[in-house]
Every structure is written in structure tokens, then in C-alpha cells.
């Protein structure tokens, strides 16, 4: 365990704190702590920061109730930065988003880069904010929720048709289309992949649930 006295605060008495969600390891925000806010954080088990703009201490969630419960705090090898691992009660960003880090500056799209759904999700988020002309994704966002929902319904139907025909290749193709449109819907509604992951993780008895259906003679 490192003593607070071993930490290196800057000339203004501050140290940067990278807040990370314990479960997903997603970066939520970057803020600053001074000795007092760090001591409060440790004492209360809730993140407390020093606001450089307001020049005062503030506990995350004191107004919004979106508290961040500290699991552990680590420092780097130079003792001049902190990583704060938390479990959060709600959105981390004041804009109401899951994280403060949502706008892509660069996405590696080289063919050698492994594809993953998180990468596509970030690209879709970026497309919504940038509104690239001629983009089908931009078209969907401009048309709004009704158009997006219509496409989700159409693609779901295509999946059913392909699977019913026992056409594996076509089913894969249609599932990919459906997945893309579902991700567009998620971006439109402010739903993150982590939200879906948490919901699935909470279903501990998924294999034991029995769907009750009406029996007809």
C-alpha cells in the first residue's frame, strides 16, 4: 500500500485521476484530486474531486445521485497519476451518457485490424454527430426513430425467412444487417453495449425460466 505522502501532486496541489468502471474497465472520466479530496474519497468510499473551474471540492453524485463507489485506487510508477476503479449508480458524464469518452477522434480501419462490435458502435456514434453527407447511417439518424424501428423490423423478418429456409449463409448475412440496425437504434436511444452486457449478466436464471403460454385445444 502506498502512503498518500508518497504521491506527487503538481505545483497547484493536484493529481490527475482516471476513473474506470470496475466491471467493464471502461474509462468513465478524467478529473483532478487534491490531498483533501483524495482523503474524502478514501474516507467515504465515494469519488470526490477538486473542480478547477469552480475552485471547490465536489463529490460525484451529490446533486445527480449518480455516485461512484470506489473499489480501489492505484497509482502509476511515477506516483503522479491515479487510476480510480468504481462501481457507478448512473451515468458518469454530466451530459447523461455512460462515459465522458464518446466522440471518436480516430478509428483504425485498416484491413489488418481485428473487427469488433465496440468499434462499429463508436463509428456509428461518430456518424451521428458528424452527419457525413451521402452516408446511409446519417440518413437513418436524420429520418429518426420511426425509420430506424421500421428497418429493425424489416431486418428481423429477413432473419426469420432465411433461417426458416435453412440457408446458413443468408441467415448470417441477415443477422449482420439486423445487428447493424440494432446498434443504430442503440446509438439513437443512448443505449451502450455495456448496458446490454449488464442486463445479460444479471440474468442468472436464464436457463431455468419457463415461458408460460396459453394452451389451446
Average pLDDT over residues 119-139: 86
Q: In which residue are the cell numbers 473487427 written? A: 115
The mean-pLDDT minimum among 137-146, 174-183, 197-206 falls in 197-206
- The domain spanning residue 83 has which CATH number? 3.10.20.810
Domain membership flag for residue 216:
no
Residues 76, 4 contacting (CB under 8 angstroms): no
Domain membership flag for residue 98:
no
Neighbours of 197 (CB within 10 A): 12
C-alpha to C-alpha distances, 19 to 79, 81, 144, 146, nearest whole angstrom? 16, 11, 33, 36
- The domain spanning residue 131 has which CATH number? 1.10.287.1080
Beta strands in the chain (DSSP E): 15-21, 27-33, 48-51, 56-59, 68-75, 82-88
Average pLDDT over residues 63-78: 95
Inform me whether the pLDDT recorded for 199 exceeds 90.
Answer: no
Inform me whether the pLDDT recorded for 148 exceeds 60.
Answer: yes
Domain membership flag for residue 111:
no
Inform me whether the pLDDT recorded for 26 exceeds 60.
Answer: yes
Distance of CA 79 to the CA centre of its chain: 28
Amino acid at each position: 500500500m502506498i502512503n498518500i505522502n508518497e504521491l506527487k501532486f503538481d505545483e497547484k496541489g493536484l493529481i490527475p485521476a482516471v476513473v474506470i468502471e470496475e466491471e467493464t474497465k471502461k474509462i468513465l472520466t478524467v478529473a483532478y484530486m487534491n490531498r483533501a479530496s483524495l482523503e474524502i474519497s478514501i474516507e467515504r468510499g465515494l469519488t470526490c474531486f477538486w473542480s478547477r473551474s469552480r475552485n471547490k471540492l465536489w463529490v460525484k453524485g451529490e446533486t445527480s445521485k449518480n455516485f461512484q463507489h470506489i473499489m480501489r485506487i492505484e497509482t502509476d510508477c511515477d506516483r503522479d497519476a491515479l487510476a480510480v476503479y468504481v462501481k457507478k449508480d448512473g451515468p458518469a458524464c454530466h451530459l447523461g451518457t455512460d462515459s465522458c469518452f464518446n466522440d471518436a477522434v480516430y478509428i483504425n480501419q485498416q484491413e489488418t485490424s481485428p473487427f469488433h462490435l465496440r468499434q462499429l458502435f463508436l463509428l456509428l456514434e461518430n456518424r451521428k454527430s458528424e452527419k457525413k453527407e451521402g452516408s446511409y447511417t446519417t440518413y437513418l439518424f436524420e429520418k429518426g426513430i420511426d425509420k430506424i424501428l421500421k428497418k429493425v423490423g424489416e431486418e428481423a423478418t429477413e432473419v426469420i425467412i432465411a433461417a426458416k429456409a435453412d440457408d446458413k449463409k443468408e441467415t448470417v448475412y441477415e443477422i449482420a444487417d439486423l445487428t447493424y440496425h440494432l446498434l443504430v437504434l442503440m446509438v439513437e436511444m443512448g443505449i451502450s453495449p455495456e448496458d446490454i452486457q449488464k442486463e445479460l449478466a444479471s440474468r442468472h436464471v436464464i436457463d431455468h425460466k419457463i415461458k408460460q403460454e396459453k394452451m389451446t385445444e
